[in-house]
Each structure stands twice: as structure tokens, then as C-alpha cells.
């Protein structure tokens, strides 16, 4: 009988090999504001390249290389590949360890439940693997529709996610909640799932991705968005989410250390709709944490609070006000790899 490989889904704070960004282009949704958003992507690549390698997927390699000419060549790989959009967190591969060795999982990306075209994005991971970008790391099909932004892990077998997203009827309508759990356990190697049934951000297209709401900072620590304004439309839902978080227990039966994040002053698009600004969308990398900021008064406090969650790591603020115009932020445009 063949021995079943032991899998483990690593926490984001574990040592990484590189981070992927998929750059915007004129035919993406960023077309009308391309000159405004590109500096944010460049700032992210420059910040990450100080600590580890960066993989950039771009429609035009030469044009993108010109934007990144200040980055050392040994810290940067730029690959030309067609794309619909820029959300690498959701179309990028998810790394697990299989018997201690990295394995890439290529789940189906269908534009957050068929909301947007994703045919090109869904092919990026397979193309990168075929071209040898991931070296000898094997690639396996994920077997279901799933985005990286929907998953938070402590690296020890616990998954934190939202029912709104994972049980969306336009993702895997043939699977019950129990069946979704079984697939996740088999593919990721997790053995328990903490489901959040409440919490959302106005303007969000993802059906409440967990990385906009609550994040593991350590095996016993969760940072989460908290709305203190009773007049705000989010207040009740986020209160219910907070209550659920207080009821969760660590693997050894203890309450989690819960760290409320500042609630940013509301940001609005030109047409008046609210944008999903959130400080939970930070990116943990080797030796640092990149934190989205929005040109609002709460930015500095957010940097301070997140710094308390990651002692010993440099805390780097990145202006992401433009990113939320397309309803995502810093963590959404990135995907880390291991091994």
C-alpha cells in the first residue's frame, strides 16, 4: 500500500523563497488609472526585494523591467504572460509542504464566483510552472475553485476562513460545507477549520475574503478589523465577527490573543461608492511586514498596532489608496512562495 504523504500548510511568517506580483496593464481594469497605480506596484516590489526574491508577471517584459531598473538583478524575475487583472493572491499557486518538501497547488480561479473574466489569470500558474519559474517544485491541480485570499493558517493545521466566500454558490455549488472541509483537509493538510459567518467590507468583490477581515499573526494571535462607530453600516456584522473570534480556541484550548486594528476613515470612489479600506490586508515577508495605508489619520496607529504583533520585523507602510479603487489592497496583489 502506498504511503499517504503528510501535508502542512505553512503560516505566512515562515521563511519564504519569493513573492509574486502580477502587474496592471492598459487592457486590465486599471487602464484608465494606470499611471496612478503603477507606482504602488513598484513600491511593493522595491520593498519586498530588500528581503527576498520577487517574481513579476507582466504583459510587456521590457516596459516593466524599465520600471524596476533600480532593483538588483539577483532579486528580480520578470516574466511576460497574458493576464486579465492583478490579483496574484487569488490566481497564484498555494504552497504546501508534502513530506517536508514544497508542493504547489493550482486551484481554479473563476473571477470570485464568475463576477469578472479570469480565463487568462487562471492559466498563469500552469504557464509559470511549464517555463521552469518554480524550479523543481511540483505542481498539482487543486480540484476546486478557491482563492488564496480566502485562506488563513497558523502553520500547525488550523485554517481560518469565511462561510460567505467558501460556500458561495458560484464557486463550488456541488460541495456542502462538510465536503469543502474534507477537500481542504486533503489538499492543505489542515485538520480543523474555524468558520466566520459574519463580517464584510462595503465595496469588496470577493464575498468576504478572510485576508480583509482577520489574520493570524502567531499561533495564538489574530489581528482583526473592528468598527467602533455604531452608525457605520459595518458595525453589527463586525461586532458579530468579533464575538465569534472570542469564542474560538487555540489548539491547546486557550482563547486567542485578539488584536483589534484601527478602523480607517471611510474612503469613497469618485462616483460615491465606499471603498474597502482595511489594515488587515498586510503582507508578511522575510524580516518585515508591509502594511497598506490610505492617506487617513489612522494610518500611523495601524503601523504601530501591527508592529506589536510582529516584534523584530520591520514595519513598512505602503500607500495603497489607489489600490482600493479596484476593491483590493496590498495582500491581494501578492502571493508568497516557500522552499
**Domains of the chain and any CATH numbers:** 7-337 (3.75.10.10)
304-319 burial, b at 16+ Cβ within 10 Å, e below that, comes to ebbeebbeebebbbbe
Looking up cell 507602510 gives 317
Whether pTM > 0.95 for this model: the answer is: yes
How does pLDDT run across 125-176, given as a tens digit for each residue?
A: 999 999 999 999 999 999 999 999 999 999 999 999 999 999 999 999 999 9
Judging by beta carbons within 10 Å of its beta carbon (0-12, 13-18, 19+), is residue 211 exposed, middle or buried?
buried
Residue 2 has pLDDT above 70, yes or no: no
Percentage of the chain exceeding pLDDT 70: 99
pLDDT in the model for residue 5: 79
* Distances, alpha carbon 21 to alpha carbons 41, 78, 273, 311, in Å: 8, 10, 27, 26
Amino acid at each position: 500500500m502506498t504511503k499517504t504523504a503528510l501535508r502542512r500548510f505553512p503560516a505566512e511568517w515562515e521563511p519564504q523563497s519569493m513573492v509574486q506580483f502580477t502587474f496592471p496593464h492598459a487592457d486590465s481594469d486599471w487602464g484608465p488609472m494606470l499611471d496612478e497605480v503603477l507606482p504602488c506596484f513598484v513600491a511593493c516590489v522595491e520593498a519586498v526585494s530588500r528581503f527576498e526574491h520577487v517574481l513579476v508577471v507582466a504583459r510587456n517584459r521590457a516596459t516593466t523591467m524599465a520600471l524596476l531598473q533600480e532593483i538588483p538583478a539577483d532579486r528580480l524575475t520578470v516574466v511576460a504572460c497574458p493576464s486579465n487583472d492583478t490579483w496574484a493572491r487569488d490566481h497564484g499557486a498555494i504552497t504546501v509542504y508534502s513530506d517536508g518538501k514544497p508542493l504547489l497547488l493550482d486551484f481554479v480561479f473563476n473571477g470570485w464566483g464568475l463576477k469578472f473574466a479570469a480565463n487568462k489569470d487562471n492559466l498563469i500558474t500552469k504557464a509559470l510552472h511549464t517555463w521552469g519559474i518554480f524550479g523543481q517544485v511540483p505542481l498539482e491541480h487543486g480540484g476546486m475553485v478557491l482563492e488564496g485570499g480566502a485562506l488563513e493558517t497558523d502553520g500547525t493545521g488550523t485554517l481560518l476562513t469565511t462561510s460567505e466566500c467558501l460556500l458561495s454558490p458560484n464557486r463550488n455549488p456541488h460541495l456542502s460545507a462538510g465536503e469543502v472541509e474534507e477537500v481542504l483537509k486533503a489538499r492543505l493538510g489542515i485538520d480543523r477549520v474555524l468558520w466566520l459567518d459574519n463580517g464584510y467590507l462595503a465595496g469588496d468583490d470577493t464575498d468576504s475574503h478572510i485576508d480583509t477581515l482577520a489574520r493570524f499573526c502567531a499561533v495564538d494571535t489574530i489581528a482583526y478589523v473592528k468598527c467602533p462607530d455604531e452608525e457605520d453600516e459595518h458595525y453589527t456584522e463586525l461586532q458579530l465577527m468579533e464575538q465569534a473570534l472570542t469564542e474560538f480556541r487555540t489548539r491547546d484550548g486557550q482563547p486567542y490573543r485578539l488584536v483589534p486594528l484601527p478602523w480607517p476613515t471611510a474612503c469613497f470612489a469618485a462616483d460615491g461608492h465606499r471603498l474597502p479600506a482595511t489594515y488587515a490586508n498586510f503582507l508578511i515577508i522575510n524580516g518585515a511586514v508591509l502594511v497598506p495605508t490610505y492617506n487617513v489619520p489612522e494610518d500611523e496607529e495601524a503601523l504601530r498596532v501591527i508592529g506589536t504583533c510582529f516584534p523584530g520585523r520591520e514595519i513598512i507602510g505602503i500607500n495603497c489608496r489607489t489600490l482600493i479603487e479596484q476593491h483590493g489592497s496590498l495582500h491581494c496583489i501578492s502571493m508568497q512562495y516557500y522552499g
